[in-house]
Amino acid sequence: LAADAVTNDKLADNAVQTENIVNGTILTEDISSGGNDRVLVTNAVGDVEWIDKATLVPATTVSNTSTVNTLSTTVDGVTGVGVAIINSNELSLDSNNELVSTINGEASTALDLEPTIVANQKTTSVVEGTGVNITNTTTGNNTEYTVTVDPTDIIGDGTISSTDIVVSGGANSTLNDVTLEIADNAITNAKMADNAITTTEIVDGTIASADIANTAVTLEKLADGTLDGQVMQWDGATSTWTLVDLGSVTVTENDGIVGNEVVGATNTTLTRSGDGSQAVPYTLGVSDGGITATQLADNAVTLSKLADGTTDGQLMQWNATSGSWELIDASSLSDDDISVTNTVTGHIIATISEPGITDVNINETVTTLSDANSDGIFDYVSEDNTTTSFDGTDDQNASEVTYNDAASSLGAANVQEAIEALATNSSDNQGISSTVVTTNETVNIALERGSDTTIDIRDADSSITNEIQDLSLSGDNLTLSNDPTAAAIDLSDYRETVIGTGNIFVADDGSGNYTVSSTDPDESITNEVNTRFSVVGSNLEIEDDNSVLFVPLSELAAGGAVGPQGPVGDKGATGDTGDKGEVGDKGLVGDKGATGDTGDKGATGDKG
C-alpha cells in the first residue's frame, strides 16, 4: 500500500484495535466532543460515555471575610487560617527628623513634630550660686549633675559650750571644726557606768584597805601557796602574813587534856555532857525547847525552816485565843477590795484606798520641754521641778540658714530656697548632630556637651543585592532565587478549581493558573485607609476605619531618636477575634487511575 492509501472510508467498523495505534498518537482533537462541560469516563460495566463534569467535581465556592486586621478565606465551606491585612506598621524619622508611618511597606507623608514637641517641652537650668560648684557628666542620654557646697561660705550663729568639757572653736561653729576635751575632775562616780573601770584603768599599787569592802576577799582572790598543807600566819615582826607549814604551828594545851575547857552552860538553852576527860570530853548541845525568840536572829526563820502544811493552798494565821499560829484554808478569809480613784490626765495623780488602810495619793510630775515664747531658748522641767534652759539654735533646717544671693541671683533668702531654685532651673537638654565622614561608609554623631562617636554604616559584604531573593512559579514548581541549595517545591497536589463569588473574581489562563482578585477583600474601601493623621495635645493620632493609634510625643526631645512603639491598646467595641486556629494536616493524595502515572488524577483526599 502506498503511504496514506488507507483512508477512513477504507476502514471497517471496529477495524482499528489498540495494538494498531501507536502510543501517544491520539491527541485531544482526535476525540469527538461530547458537548460543553462534559467528561469522558467509563461506566459501571466498562463502557465509555460522556457525562456532565459537575457530577464528578462540584463547583468550588470561595468567599473572604475580614475582622479588624484579619482576612479569612472560605473554600467550599471550609475557612482557612486568617492572615493579617496590615502586616507591619512602623514609625520612623526621616532625614529631616519628621515622623513617617510605614504600613505594609508603604510610607505616609512625613509629619513635622517639632512645633508640638517644642510647645510642650519643659526645660531646667542649673546655675552655680555663691559657694556652690556644679559639674556634669553625660552618659548616653543621661546627664548627671554633681553639686558641691563650700562650707566656709555658710556662717552659723550657734555656740557649743559646756562646764565639764573644754570646747575649742565653739563660737559660730556650724560646719566648722570643733574640738571637745573633758575637763579635769569632770568625771565623777555618777558619770561612770557599772563595770566601766577595768584593771588597765587602775594605777598599780593604788588599791588601799579602805577601797576593799568587808568579805570582798574570798579564797579565790588569794595567791596560791607553794607547798601542800601550808597555812597563813601573821608575822608581827614584819607586819605581814607569811606561809608556814602546818606542822610548825605550836598549840599550847595547859593541862594536856583536850575537851575539858567547857565549864558549863550559862542558861537552859544549852546542856553540857561528858566528864571532861580525854576519853569523854565535855560537849555542849541544844536543850529541848531551848531555842526561844531571844536566840533567833532577825530573818533567821526562812520558809524552808517551816514545817510542811497538810493541804494545798493553806495559809498560816495567828490565833490570839490560843496564842499560836495555825493553818487555815484561803476560802475562810474575807475579801477586801482595793480601789484606785482620783485619776487625772496629764500629771499622773491617783488615790489608792482599801478598808483598814490609810488612803495614799500618788502624784508624779512629768518632765516637760518647751519654747513658750518662741525665742529659740528651750526650758526643761525635770521630775523634781528643776528647770534647765538651753539654746537650740545649732539644730537648723536648710530654710533656717541664711543665704547670700548677691552673686548668684537665684532670688533665694535661705539655703532651702537656693536648692529649690537650682532644681527648678536645671536642664539636661543637649543637641545631637551628624556629619558624613565617608560617603556610604561612616557617619560621625556629636553630642552638644558630650563626646563624638563614628558609626560604620557599610554593608558587611559590600553587596547591595545579595540579600534580595525572588519567588517564582513555573508550572507547578515554586522556586527561590539566590539560593543554590534550595529545591523547587511541587505544588501540583494543591491544585483547586476556584470560582469567585460576590466581589471576588477568578481568572483562568487555561494552563491551570488562577488569578483571584477583588475590589476589596472585606468589601470595605475605608477600613485600611488612614482617615486622620494629626497631633492632638502631646499625642500623635493615626486613625483608620477600625481604631485610633495613639503615639505619645511628650517624652521626645527635639532632634532625638524615636523610642520603640508602645503596646497596642485594648480593642474597640467590635471585640476580640478568636485566637488563630492551628493548620490541619494535609489530606492524603487519592489513588492513581487504572492506567498508571499517565492516567487521570485520582480524587483529592479529605482536607485536614
Q: 234-243, 261-270, 282-291 — which one is most confidently predicted on average?
A: 234-243
pLDDT band at 564 (very low <50, low <70, confident <90, very high): low
- DSSP secondary structure code for residue 159 in this structure: B
Rounded Cα gap, residues 17 and 452, in angstroms: 91
**If residue 454 lies in a helix (H) or strand (E), which one and from where to where?**
strand 452-456
Q: Is the pLDDT of residue 591 over 50?
A: yes
Q: Is the pLDDT of residue 466 over 70?
A: no
Question: Under a CB-based contact definition with an 8 Å cutoff, are residues 51 and 35 in contact?
Answer: no
Question: Under a CB-based contact definition with an 8 Å cutoff, are residues 542 and 549 in contact?
Answer: yes
Distances from the Cα of 298 to the Cα of 301, 304, 309, angstroms: 8, 15, 23
Residue 524 C-alpha cell reads as 470595605
Residues 6+ apart with CB under 8 A from 515: 506, 507, 509
Nearest CA among 397, 426, 449 for reference residue 129: 426
Q: What is the pLDDT of residue 607?
A: 46
- What is the full DSSP assignment across 442-506? EEEEEETTS-EEEEE-S-TTS-SSTT---EEEETTEEEETT-TTPPPEE-GGG-------TTEEE
Q: Is the pLDDT of residue 273 over 70?
A: yes
Q: 20-29, 132-141, 386-395 — which one is most confidently predicted on average?
A: 132-141
Q: What is the pLDDT of residue 237?
A: 92
pLDDT band at 190 (very low <50, low <70, confident <90, very high): confident
Q: Amino acid letter at 511?
A: S
Nearest CA among 148, 230, 239, 174 for reference residue 396: 174
Task: Report pTM.
Answer: 0.20
Residue 513 C-alpha cell reads as 493558573
Residue whose cell numbers read 485610633? 548
Q: Amino acid letter at 32?
A: S
Q: Is the pLDDT of residue 394 over 60?
A: no
pLDDT band at 456 (very low <50, low <70, confident <90, very high): confident
Distances from the Cα of 272 to the Cα of 146, 259, 296, 511, angstroms: 100, 12, 21, 150
- CA torsion, points 149, 152, 153, 157, in degrees to nearest 10? 120
Rounded Cα gap, residues 460 and 454, in angstroms: 16
Least confident of 293-307, 315-329, 475-489, 592-606: 592-606
pLDDT digits (tens, 9 = 90+) for 494-544: 666 666 666 666 777 777 676 766 666 565 655 666 566 667 777 777 776
Percent of the chain with pLDDT over 90: 1
> Looking at residues 255-273, what average pLDDT do you find?
72
Q: Sign of dihedral through CA atoms 308, 311, 315, 319?
A: negative
Least confident of 410-419, 503-512, 549-558: 549-558
pLDDT digits (tens, 9 = 90+) for 133-152: 888 898 888 888 888 877 77
- DSSP secondary structure code for residue 171 in this structure: B
Q: Is the pLDDT of residue 123 over 80?
A: no
Distances from the Cα of 54 to the Cα of 51, 215, 291, 497, angstroms: 9, 129, 139, 12
Rounded (to 5) percent helix, strand, coil in the chain: 10, 30, 60
In this predicted model, which residue has the larger pLDDT, 94 or 480? Answer: 94
Q: How high does pLDDT run on average in the chain?
A: 74
Q: Measured between alpha carbons, how far apart are the two ends of the chain, in Å? A: 60
Rounded Cα gap, residues 229 and 251, in angstroms: 17
Rounded Cα gap, residues 162 and 409, in angstroms: 40
Distances from the Cα of 265 to the Cα of 257, 260, 285, 292, angstroms: 20, 13, 9, 16
CA-based max dimension of the chain: 188
Q: Where are the beta strands (DSSP E) in 89-141?
A: 89-93, 99-103, 106-107, 132-139
Q: Amino acid letter at 437?
A: V
Residue 246's φ and ψ, nearest 5 degrees, are: -60, -30
Nearest CA among 180, 175, 178, 169 for reference residue 156: 175
